[in-house]
Structure 1
Amino acid sequence: MYNTTVARLTLRALLGRRRALILFALPGLLLLVSAVVRGLVGADDTIAADVLGGFALATMVPLIGVIAGTGAIGPEIDDGSIVHLLSKPVKRPVIVFTKLVVALGVTVLFAAVPTLVAGFVLNGNSGRIAVACAAGAAVASVAYSALFLLLGTVTRHAVVIGLVYALVWESLIGSLVPGARTLSIQQWGLSLAQRIGGGDLLTSEVRIVPAVVLLCVVTAAATWFAGLRLGSLTLADEG
């Protein structure tokens, strides 16, 4: 179910110059903001929760998910280079799974890990806020990677649609509109963060069991549909 050659090519594409700049810039901004906040107000659990929940989970994680998920396969389909991969004796579900693993690894590396570090910078992991938000970012990364990988297989405008989803739905509607929060990946990750961190600083309207179920369903469904979509492509279509 995993192909090292496909993984190497996908990782090389994701860490190309343009995407790498964005991948490094977002975590860098989070760490910079965290250091400035810590220097100005000191260690404060409420502010730490606001920064990690409001910026890291609501904005940075979905944006990195867009870059990694769509970039894992979208550009190859757009420029037709996918034809070389499809002509190889590699099963298409294996291609999708391998690209998902790489996209997930990149998202966790550039989203969950910086969230953990930022949490320690902000308040030294007081109240387990750093660990809680990092765990929430990690599980959200799974669903984001699968969803945006699927998006990359069905439209040439995957990045634009992904950015609209990340900035409008997750950062705005999913954070402010009560009814929409149930369908927000950010809220599912925040639910796990709330369970780990406890207290009232990290809150989600989605309970932990539905959140885990929804994360699993979305990830599995998106991966399956992406494999189905890739399987429907023909060499003639891409040539």
Structure 2
Amino acid sequence: MYHPTVARLTYRALLGRRRAAVLFVLPGLLLFLAAAVRLLNGPDDQIAADVLGGFALATLVPLIGVIAGTGAIGPEIDDGSVVYLLSKPVKRPTIIMTKLTVAIAVTMVFSALPTLIAGFILNGNGQQIAVAYTVAALVASIAYSAIFLLLGTVTRHAVVIGLVYALIWEALFAGLISGARTLSVREWSAAVAQKVTGGDSVVSSDVGLPLAVVLLIAVTAGATWFAGHKLRTLTLAGEE
């Protein structure tokens, strides 16, 4: 379920000059913020958790997911070049799985790695906070990539919808409205982070770990299946 040529073309599209600039700017902002907070406040576990949970997990990861997930296939569908890919002897589920794998890898590199570095800058991984939020970012990267890849296959406005979801729902509503947290990838991932710290730290989640794991798996699998189904329904000229 992985095609090297499709992967290479997808990496090239995602890491092109324009997208790469955005991909590097966002982690740079996190690292700058972490350094500034450490300089002003010194090592503080609560502040470290607030920065990593409030900016890295709630803003950085979903935004990188939007760029990588929608960019893995959306532009090809929008400009019609996807027909050339679909005309090749490559199974369509393989195309989706390959593009999802690339999107996940890019999201992880540009979100989880900066989260780990920022965590060590903030408090030297006190209470395992840096590692906990890095694991949460890795888990969230998988779910976000699948969600935004699906958006890229079903609408030409995937980036706009993805940004609204990331900035309004995940970063704002899920942080302010308790009822919204149950339906938030951010909160599900935070449950994983809480488990990594042993459950007795400044890292917390309103969703229990078993439910969070079930929801993460269900959303990822469902979004991936539906994206594959949508791609299979695309027809080329001459196909019956």
Give the aligned partner of residue 188 of structure 1. Answer: 188
Q: CA offset at residue 139 of structure 1?
A: 0.3
* Inter-partner Cα distance in structure 2 for 1:67 and 1:213: 25
**Residue identity matched to 1:50:** D
How do 1:12-161 and structure 2 match up within 5 A? 12-161=12-161
Q: CA offset at residue 234 of structure 1?
A: 1.0
Structure 2: gaps (5+ residues): none
**Residue identity matched to 2:195:** R
Give the aligned partner of residue 206 of structure 2. Answer: 205
Structure 1: gaps (5+ residues): none
Q: CA offset at residue 176 of structure 1?
A: 1.1
Task: State the secondary structure of the residue aligned to 1:235.
Answer: coil
Normalising to structure 1: TM-score of the pair?
0.98
Task: State the secondary structure of the residue aligned to 1:236.
Answer: coil
Q: Please, what is the CA RMSD of the aligned residues?
A: 0.9
Normalising to structure 2: TM-score of the pair?
0.97
Percent sequence identity over aligned pairs? 69
Give the aligned partner of residue 235 of structure 1. Answer: 236
Task: Give the ranges of 4+ consecutive aligned residues of structure 1 lying more than 2 Å apart after TM superposition.
Answer: none
Q: CA offset at residue 200 of structure 1?
A: 3.7
Q: CA offset at residue 199 of structure 1?
A: 2.4
Aligned length in residues: 237
* Inter-partner Cα distance in structure 2 for 1:89 and 1:28: 41
**Residue identity matched to 1:151:** L
Give the aligned partner of residue 216 of structure 2. Answer: 215
Q: CA offset at residue 41 of structure 1?
A: 1.2
Q: CA offset at residue 236 of structure 1?
A: 3.1
Q: CA offset at residue 36 of structure 1?
A: 1.0
Q: CA offset at residue 180 of structure 1?
A: 0.9
